[in-house]
Every structure is written in structure tokens, then in C-alpha cells.
A = this chain, B = another copy of it.
Amino acid sequence: MGVYEELMAFQRDTEALAQVAGRLSWDQETMMPRGAADQRSDERAAMEAVLHQRRTDPRVGDWLAAIAEDELDAVARAQLRHIRRSHERAVRVPERLASEIARLVSRSHVIWAESRADDDFAGFAPVLKEVIALRQEEGAALAAGGDVYDALLEDYEPGAKAADLEAMFGALRPRLVALREAVLAKPQPQGLSGTFDEGGQMKLARLLAKTFGYDMKRGRVDKAVHPFSSGSGDDVRITTRTMPLEPFNCFYSTIHEVGHGCYEQNIDTQYRLTPLGAGVSMGVHESQSRIYENQLGRSRAFTGWLYRQMRDTFGNFGITDEDGFYAAVNQVRNGYIRTEADELQYNLHVLLRFDLERALISGDLLVDDLEAAWNDRFKADFGFAVDKPSDGVLQDVHWSAGLFGYFPTYSMGNVYAGCLYKALRDAVTDLDAQLAQGDTSAATGWLKENLQQYGGLYTPREVIEKASGRAPTEAPLLDYLEEKFSALYGL
């Protein structure tokens, strides 16, 4: 066995163990008895310690140093790029710090949940300060003199730089604020009436999963409080939820997670249990979930098909034609909550978090001033005031879990989806006619062929450029949103 093969055999086990750790999280959210929480913390910590040890194993450094990279093909070099990056980052963080962070975020998550239930930001602030301090320390160790926030961002979106995002998001924000304001000055479309039974919602959710190409032989759909997808290769699971009055929540959560799940399922099988065998970044992942959910799933063409399915399943629900249904699906409403936001307003929620978390990490914003900063920014962008912390600064789990640098990947995903959709429309000329029949195969097939199959072979930016034929910019997303919502609201 050559040195490269030795390294890859070791790495293959690491990847398999990472899958096991991921499945443990899935189990925790779907199946775990509630009395098992403490024990599960110990189990997860033990798995994390094993993974950390493997990522920092000195043999990995030795193997990497011993490999004659220029004799390898492009696939092998891409594997090494991932392994080197993961190893170098892991060894930069002292084990003491890594385990302190793990222990702290486990505690801070509990405190956050209590504080959110009590609508008490002051109860969360002290532990948030600790989380930020440790992540600053970790970021500094990772940055090795470079930008600390960029070093954290690198975990979720390799190669991305906050300064570039700032420019991109800076171009998005004013046009979205203006579009939002114009749309909300217009009359609202009619909404759904009646209740929608769980059985019918889950039946349609499974139909939607199938319709978008999710392979149930290599996955499963369960219910969870917060929908998510989990796993790579041949075991990619998604979850959804049902609420009697909000079937769209179930259906579009499902399509969103199916987008994530299909990306994983559609990666070239030769990459299974290797660093190339998973989605390349959070931003590219989100581009897939978003294009499935929004550009395809919320299109006039596809909602026409969905309307007919809902009529078949639920009978009359107060909307009597496809155009009215399309308007209901795409209704723009005032709201506090990011995860419930429509396509138009969603990025405004993210941009707010990006600016605040950068300032928290740089030290320009103190935790004691965070709630006021949130509320001011919210009022500025959304035009009305936050009523309580659980609708504002306490709404998201991310910061309590130490996830700084994660939020911007949501909007990067939307920007990427805009670029991809433009190219997809050029490539699949009868797209609307197909979607109107509930046939997504040309669209999802194009995404598989041009992006999903590659897994981690290219960098995030490379794969978007390759698929969309352009360097990613916010322009296609803005054009698409302005066109769609202008038409919908008669601007």
C-alpha cells in the first residue's frame, strides 16, 4: 500500500465515524428517550474525542508530508486538500480549548432555551460572553494572524472572506428593504382556510420528496421539532413537521430538506466515505435546498401542480384557482422569525445576524449592547419593533451553540441559488411546462449533473462558477426576486 492509500484507509474510517456521530444527533432529535439526555452527552463527547484525536493524529501530518502530490490525479489532490485543511485546523486548536468549548456550548444551549422560554436576554448574556470569548480564542488560534471571523467562517464556507460578503450583502440589503416596503404597501392575497390533518400532510410530504428525486431506499422521513437533514452517502435522512393550520410549513420544509438530502444522495458513489463524499460547504448546500424550495417549489408552474395535489388530498380549502394558490404560497407578511420568513425577506434576517456577529467577534459590539443593537437594526430593515427577545435576539439556537460564521452561509446559498437558477433556465428551456406536470427531473437532473455529483471535488466557489458559468454575484437573485414579487403584487 502506498502512502496515499494508507492515509485514505485511515481517513475512510474517520469519515465512517463522523457518519456515526451524525446519526447519533439524528437519533437525539427523533428517537431518543427523553431521560437519556445526560448519558447521550457523554456518548457524544466520547465520539467527538475520537474524531478530534483522529483529525489531529500525527500520522496524518506525516502521511501528508510524505506524499508526492504532483504524481496524483485531480481527485486524489482534492482529497488531500480536504484532509490537509481539516488536519491543519484541528492541530491549531489546543485540545483543552476544544473540550472547553464542547462542554460550554452544551451548558449554554440549556441556558439559552430557558432564557428564551422566559424572554430574558439578561439570563443568557453571561454564558454568551463566555461562548464568544472561547470562540474568539479559537478563531485567533485558527487565524494565525489573519482575520478571526474569517477563520471561523472557514469552518462552514471554505475560502469565503467576510469582506467579500460584506460587499455582496451590502448590494442586497437596500434593494430588498425597498422591495419589501413596496410589497407590504399592497393588499394581501387570500390565505388558506380550514385545518389540514397530519396524515394528509405527511402523505403529501412523502410525495413531494419523491417528486424532487429523494431516494427513500437510501433515506427516510421522520418528524422532528425543527426540520433537518443528516448523513451522507447511502444513509441520508430528513425530518419535517406538521402544524394543523400551516401545511405550507410542512411542504416547503420538506422540499428544503429534500434539497439538502438529494445533494448528498447524488454525489458520485466513488466518493462515499471520503472527504469528497459530502456537500462541499454550507453555502453550496443551502443553494440546493433553496433552489428546490423556492425557485422550483414556489414557482407559478410547480404550485399549479401542488394546488391540484392539495385539492385531491384535502378537498376545499378556500382557494379556488392556481393563480390564487401561487399568491398564497408566496405571501409576504410582517414577521419576527427568520425560519418562518418568506423568500423576499429571509436574507434581511440573515444580513442582520451577519453584521451583529462580526461585531461581536471583533469586539466592536458587546454582549450587553446586543439586544438593543438587534432591535434597532430590526426596526430599520423591517419597519416595526421587536416585541420580545424570543422574537428577536433569542430566537435562534446558533450563537448558544457557538456557531459564529454560520449565518452568512444561508444568504450565500440564496445568492448561489439565484446564479444557478439563471443557468438552469437557459439549459432547460421547457422548465415551466415540466414543473407544471410535477416533473422536476430535468431541473434536478441538471443540478446533479452540473453540481451535486462533484461533492467536494471543487471548492465552493469553483463549483458554483462551473455550474452557473459565472463568478457568483447577487444580481441574478435580486433580479429574480424583483421580477417575481413585482408581478405577484402588481408593483
Find out whether the CB atom of B42 lies under 8 angstroms from the CB atom of A12.
Answer: yes
- Which of A103-111, A127-135, A214-222 lies on the face that meets chain B? A214-222
Tell whether, in the assembled complex, residue B235 and residue A40 are in contact, meaning their CB atoms are under 8 Å apart.
yes
Taking CB atoms, residues of chain B closer than 8 Å to A462 are none
Of the stretches A20-28, A77-85, A388-396, the one at the interface is A20-28
A385 at the interface (CB under 8 A from B): no
Identify A17's interface contact among B31, B46, B272, CB under 8 A.
Answer: B46
Q: A38: which B residues are within 8 A, CB to CB?
A: 234
Is B43 a contact of A218 with CB atoms below 8 Å?
A: no
Q: Which residues of B contact A35 (CB under 8 A)?
A: 215, 217-218, 234
| A16 surroundings in chain B (CB, below 8 A) | 39, 42-43, 45-47
Assembly CA distance A59 to B218 (angstroms): 41
* Alpha-carbon gap, A219 to B36, bound state (A): 8
A33 at the B interface (CB under 8 A): yes
In the bound complex, do residue B217 and residue A34 qualify as a contact, i.e. CB atoms below 8 Å apart?
A: yes
Q: Is A13 an interface residue (CB 8 A)?
A: yes
Residue A441 at the B interface, CB < 8 A? no
In the complex, A427 has a CB within 8 A of chain B? no
A273 on the B face (CB < 8 A): yes
Question: Bound state CA distance, A36 and B218, in angstroms?
Answer: 6
Report B-chain residues with C-beta under 8 Å of the C-beta of A235.
Answer: 32-33, 36, 39-40
Across-interface contacts of A12 in B (CB, < 8 A): 42, 46
- Contact between B217 and A13, CB atoms less than 8 A apart: no
Q: Kindly provide the distance from the CB of A175 to the nearest chain B CB, expressed in whole angstroms.
A: 43
A471 within 8 A of B: no
- Nearest chain B CB to A27's CB is how many angstroms away? 7
Interface residues of A in 149-186 (CB under 8 A from B): none
Instruction: Judge whether A122 is part of the interface by a CB distance below 8 angstroms.
Output: no
Known A20-B20, A23-B24: A220·B46 in contact at CB below 8 Å: no
Q: Give chain B nearest CB distance to A219 CB in angstroms.
A: 6
Question: What chain B residues lie within 8 Å of A475 (beta carbons)?
Answer: none
Q: Does A233 contact B (CB under 8 A)?
A: yes
Asked whether A313 is an interface residue with its Cβ less than 8 Å from the other chain, the reply is no
Interface residues of A in 214-253 (CB under 8 A from B): 215-220, 233-235, 237
Answer whether residue A207 sits at the interface, using C-beta atoms and an 8 A cutoff: no
Q: Flag whether A375 is at the interface (Cβ < 8 A).
A: no
Q: Find chain B residues with CB under 8 A from A45 CB.
A: 13, 16
The distance in angstroms between the C-alpha atoms of A50 and B36, with both chains bound, is 23
A394-420 CB mask vs B (1 if < 8 Å, else 0) is: 000000000000000000000000000
B residues near A17, Cβ cutoff 8 Å: 43, 46-47, 50
Q: A39: which of B19, B36, B43 is its contact (CB, 8 Å)?
A: B19
Contact A42 B220 (CB under 8 A): no
B contact residues around A23 at 8 Å (CB): 24, 27
The answer to whether A49 has its CB under 8 Å from any CB of chain B is yes
Restricting to A273-297, which residues have a CB under 8 Å from any CB of B?
Answer: 273
By beta carbon, the residue of chain B nearest A40 is B235
The answer for the CA separation of A235 and B27 in the assembled complex, in Å, is 11
Q: Could you tell me the distance between the alpha carbons of A43 and B46 in the complex, rounded to whole angstroms?
A: 16
Q: List 6 A-B contacts (CB under 8 A).
A: A13-B46, A16-B42, A16-B43, A17-B46, A35-B234, A38-B234
Give me the 8 closest cross-chain CB pairs, A-B, nearest first.
A36-B235, A16-B46, A35-B217, A35-B218, A13-B46, A39-B234, A36-B234, A16-B43
Interface residues of A (CB under 8 A from B): 12-14, 16-17, 19-20, 23-24, 27, 31-36, 38-40, 42-43, 45-47, 49-50, 215-220, 233-235, 237, 272-273
Besides A35-B217, A39-B233, 16 other A-B contacts (C-beta < 8 A): A12-B46, A14-B46, A16-B39, A16-B46, A16-B47, A17-B47, A19-B39, A20-B47, A23-B27, A31-B220, A32-B235, A33-B218, A36-B233, A36-B234, A36-B235, A38-B234
